[in-house]
């Protein structure tokens, strides 16, 4: 059995750790960069979707977002039609740090792909997308309280 998930776990933890250390100089605490980049990329997104996207518990996302708002990186706005949801937008401050985060991400991406040919990079990207789609099915299944059978 090829332990691809173990490799993925190692890579993900290492990268997250690096990002958390590097973004402290932006006054972003642990994990906040995850939400901020996506809000910058998809302004108007709601936190429920964000949690789904990032694959994190809804309540964790709620608190991370609340803190981003508290610290002035993002802003919540009521919707006209739907009184329940609160759309998320970056503030000026949020928009200002976004390029720094992007640069860090690009650097990490490039470092991660070092020694891989362009073709190999594309291959791993495509395969990873397929794996991700497989895994997110199970995640939603289990998160909803269903039981996998094995």
Partner DNA sequence: GTTTTTTTATTGCAAATGCAACAAAATTAA
Partner DNA sequence: TTAATTTTGTTGCATTTGCAATAAAAAAAC
Which residues bind to a second copy, rule: CB under 8 A? Answer: 1-5, 7-18, 21-22, 34, 53-57, 103-109, 111-116, 120-125, 127-132, 134-136, 138-139, 142-143, 148, 150
- Interacting partner of 62 out of DNA, a second copy, none (Cβ under 5 to 8 A depending on kind): DNA
Helix (H, G, I), strand (E, B) or coil at 18: helix
In the bound state with a second copy, the residue whose beta carbon lies nearer, of 79 and 142, is: 142
Give yes or no for a contact between 45 and 87, defined as CB atoms under 8 angstroms apart.
yes
Q: Does 49 bind DNA (CB under 7 A)?
A: yes
Residue 27 corresponds to which tokens in the numbers above? Answer: 């006054």
Q: What residues does 86 pair with on adjacent strands?
A: 78
Residue 25 corresponds to which tokens in the numbers above? Answer: 């100089």
Question: Token pair 């503030």 is at which residue?
Answer: 91
* Binding test (CB under 7 A) with DNA, winner from 25, 59, 92, 130: 59
* Binding test (CB under 7 A) with DNA, winner from 27, 82, 109, 126: 82
78 CB-side CA count, 13 A: 4
């Amino acid at each position: 059995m090829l332990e691809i998930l173990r490799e993925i776990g190692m890579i993900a933890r290492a990268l997250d750790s690096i990002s958390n250390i590097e973004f402290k100089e932006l006054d972003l605490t642990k994990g906040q960069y995850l939400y901020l980049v996506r809000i910058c990329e998809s302004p108007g997104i709601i936190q429920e979707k964000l949690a789904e996207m990032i694959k994190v518990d809804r309540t964790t996302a709620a608190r991370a977002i609340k803190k981003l708002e508290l610290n002035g990186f993002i802003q919540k706005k009521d919707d006209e039609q739907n009184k329940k949801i609160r759309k998320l937008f970056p503030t000026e401050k949020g928009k200002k740090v976004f390029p720094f985060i992007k640069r860090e991400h690009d650097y990490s991406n490039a470092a991660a792909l070092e020694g891989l040919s362009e073709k190999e990079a594309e291959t791993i990207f495509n395969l990873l997308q397929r794996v991700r789609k497989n895994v997110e099915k199970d995640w939603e299944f289990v998160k909803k309280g269903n039981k996998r059978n094995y």
